[in-house]
Structure 1
């Protein structure tokens, strides 16, 4: 499973749900405190077909609903770097209480991923700066040789 959409489709099919059923069962926060809304079948289809990148609220809701890590959903890996898909348990009780218990853990995982991403961007920028400096040195050396 190469993409986020592939992993969502796999999990949905493991629970024998249609896109419409998943859309109705999945609850994401709204801008109003303590309010949630369901997604649409079109949104689920767009996610599964990689036409839509879900926001963090949807990633968290999917992670909680399917009882998998956000890391696995987003990147196909667990913290152990094991690429095996998680075991999917069929659980008819998808109450918000159970989801709320795990939401802090998922938010923490997303925060860690964000920190890792920021560190990687910083490293890439540092490398680009070094390459630019080296390029200038090489060009200056070539100009010096011409004179």
Structure 2
């Protein structure tokens, strides 16, 4: 009745679960090519297989931004073992292991990324960070950008 999964199938399922909907995994080869195509890119530098409350909050932002074509939500999994994958990216952007998860916003036209230094690491704070530093709109569920703009003008 139940079919046992092969190690390859388990690894694939785990990788799909870790990354989450709306988030793109970047590496040393794809990083510059991909982020240059977007008005803003929010990147989380973290361990290679992230988990926990902060990772879940980041994935909420990724899901909420799926209709925003000017914004990319991405993660860079950094390994400190084996081939040290993406350690060069962490070094380039001055991210240390003790800083994980470190979130940076890359905005077209700006030379350096902007560090997220929010008091709380949650989806709402990350959305505010994106809006205030890039001008890219991410609304709450059920909100429309045009209506939010009218509400801001009225207040």
Shorter chain as denominator, the TM-score bin is under 0.3
Higher relative contact order (CA closer than 8 Å, sequence separation 6+):
2
When normalised by structure 2's length, the TM-score is 0.26
User: TM-score under structure 1 normalisation?
Assistant: 0.27
| Larger CA Rg, structure 1 vs 2 | 1
Structure with bigger helix share is 1
Q: Pick the structure with more strand per residue.
A: 2
